[in-house]
Amino acid sequence: MTDTQREYDVILYGATGFTGKLVAEYLLNAYGVGDDLRWAMAGRSLGKLETVRDELRNDAIPLLTADSDDQASLAKLAALTRVICTTVGPYALYGSGMVAACAEGGTHYCDLTGETQWMRRMIDAHQETAEASGARIVHTCGFDSIPSDLGVLFLQNAMMKTHGVPACHVKYRVAGASGTFSGGTVASLINVMEEASRDRSLRRLLADPYALNPADAPRGDDRNDQTGAIYDEDFDRWTLPFVMAAINTRVVRRSNALMAQRYGEDFRYDEAMLAPEGQGGLKSKLAAAAMTGGTAALAIPPLRAVARRFLPSPGEGPSLEVRERGFFDIRLYGVHPEDRDKDMQARVTGDRDPGYGSTSKMLAESAVCLAQDELACGGGLWTPASAMGEALIQRLQDRAGLSFEITRD
Ligand SMILES: NC(=O)c1ccc[n+]([C@@H]2O[C@H](COP(=O)([O-])OP(=O)(O)OC[C@H]3O[C@@H](n4cnc5c(N)ncnc54)[C@H](OP(=O)(O)O)[C@@H]3O)[C@@H](O)[C@H]2O)c1
């Protein structure tokens, strides 16, 4: 069967979950049903899917069922569509069968995972199959790691256009963000901690700054992610550790490797949060210690159990008000390899909370981009920048409330 003969452009798998419902709502409002985009909602329970469809007040949305424990049902679902867009997570627990089904069936795929160990497993298991079938598999199509991955691509493209060379070092700084976690994200974080506490080789993998690079790709000079407070002269501010850095930096480095070292073999990349303006060294060091201690606490089983009791459960997440009042504001600083007067800066912003309001739009547009845009890459396990690059930047700016701008050139 060729792509165009498939019944759907996009099947949203996991439409009954907290994030899945937001993606469904966005697709319906942005594309209607069956006109500009042929899409359907899928999940493991028809009853729950019908409830979501009732809430969306549109009987025309097709409903399909598949259970992640039933591989035949996943293969059948994947064969019906050009793209599977999945929010069924934690992906390390429930997502592997769908990646296999898409890689084998030549179906493009996008998700919201931030589980580095699972992405490594998927790359190792399915790269060859996806290359052969033509399936473009793209993980991390949410707040992790689209602003990082596409922000770096955007800044590097401008750097090359203006100065003829890529920046040798890009710094990503979170200047502001507002929003909270959902139960599904908490479950994913806790699952990574649980897997890591049982498995030393996994702890080594998670600490490797090039954990997602192809085995034969050159490694640069990047080392550990930031754990304490560091003064950043380029921003004239103290910086604090950023919890998503452990995922995003690996994705950006994989993009560089997959795009034939487009940013250079010595390219360096790091992520941190800017401390509030005027905040001094002592306060920043105390804040950094509290943040690092809080994350480390999740590695201790009894504290994980306590965290589970107080954090949201699967299916729960931030209210409409929190999502609509939310935002994110990211600054990127690119260092010119020879002349610091030619350093450039970019800014990436979003008009909803990063984790859900904005993430659901990023994932939905990634799915539509895979289904409808002319993309240069063939089958394989890609990153957002290496698979969709400028086509996705354009979509996110035109439709999804993101902005990418050069602020200093
Ligand atoms: N990267 C980011 O920026 C970002 C942001 C948000 C979320 N996420 C990730 O997205 C995932 C979903 O988060 P969420 O908050 O939406 O979680 P959620 O509300 O718990 O939803 C999980 C979904 O998975 C489905 N599911 C669970 N087990 C299944 C199975 N065996 N077969 C088929 N479907 C199954 C659930 O179906 P039922 O309704 O039938 O239980 C539900 O639709 C998580 O992994 C989270 O970490 C990432």
CA-to-CA distance for 347 and 155, rounded, in angstroms? 9
Does the beta carbon of 350 sit less than 6 angstroms from any atom of ligand 1? no
Give the pair of three-digit tokens for residue 150. 């596409």
DSSP 388: T
**Sheet holding 8-13: strands in order across?**
63-65, 39-43, 8-13, 81-86, 108-111, 136-138, 380-382
408: exposed, middle or buried (C-beta count within 10 Å: 0-12, 13-18, 19+)?
A: exposed
Could you tell me what percent of the chain has a pLDDT over 70? 92
Cβ(354) to ligand 1 under 6 A?
no
* Count of positions (residues) in the chain: 409
Give the span between the Cα atoms of 393 and 395, in whole angstroms: 6
- For ligand 1, atom 2, name the residue with the nearest CA: 142
pLDDT of residue 192: 80
Which comes out higher in pLDDT, residue 286 or 170? 170
Q: What is the pLDDT of residue 297?
A: 67
Q: Is the CB of 328 under 6 A from ligand 1?
A: no
CA 175 to chain centre: 19
The pairing of strands 327-335 and 344-350 is antiparallel
Q: Does the CB atom of residue 352 touch ligand 1 within 6 A?
A: no
d(CA 285, CA 293): 12
Ligand 1 atom at shortest distance from the alpha carbon of 317: 15
Give the single-character DSSP code of 7. S
The Cα 127–Cα 130 span in angstroms is 5
What CA–CA distance (Å, rounded) separates 401 from 403? 7
Specify whether the CB–CB gap between 230 and 245 falls below 8 A.
Answer: no
* pLDDT at position 308: 64
Residue 342 has pLDDT above 90, yes or no: yes
Average pLDDT, the chain: 92
Say what the pTM is.
Answer: 0.95
The reply to whether ligand 1 has any atom less than 6 angstroms from the CB of 143 is yes
Tell me which residue has its CA closest to atom 7 in ligand 1. Answer: 185
SS3 (DSSP) at 169: strand
What is the structure's pLDDT at 1?
Answer: 46
Contact 102, 109 (CB under 8 A): yes
Q: Mean of the pLDDT values across residues 288-306?
A: 71
Cα(201)–Cα(215) distance, integer angstroms? 16
Tokens of 112: 């919201």
Cβ–Cβ under 8 Å, residues 331 and 345: yes
Q: pLDDT value at position 225?
A: 93
- The radius of gyration computed from the CA coordinates of the chain, to the nearest angstrom, equals 20
Q: Which of 402, 394, 392, 400 has the alpha carbon at shortest distance from 350?
A: 402
Query: Which pair of tokens denotes residue 199?
Result: 């498995």
Q: Which residues pair with 406 in a beta bridge?
A: 346
* Residue 16 main-chain phi, psi, to 5 deg: -90, -10
Cβ count near 208 (within 10 Å):
15
Specify the residue with its C-alpha closest to ligand 1, atom 48: 112
Question: pLDDT tens digit string along 237-247?
Answer: 999 999 889 99
DSSP codes of every residue in 13-64:
ETTTSHHHHHHHHHHHHHHTTTTS--EEEEES-HHHHHHHHHHHT-TTS-EE
Q: Is 353:318 a contact under the CB 8 Å cutoff?
A: yes
- What pLDDT is recorded for position 82? 98
User: For 93-131, what is each residue's pLDDT tens digit?
Assistant: 999 999 999 999 999 999 999 999 999 999 999 999 999
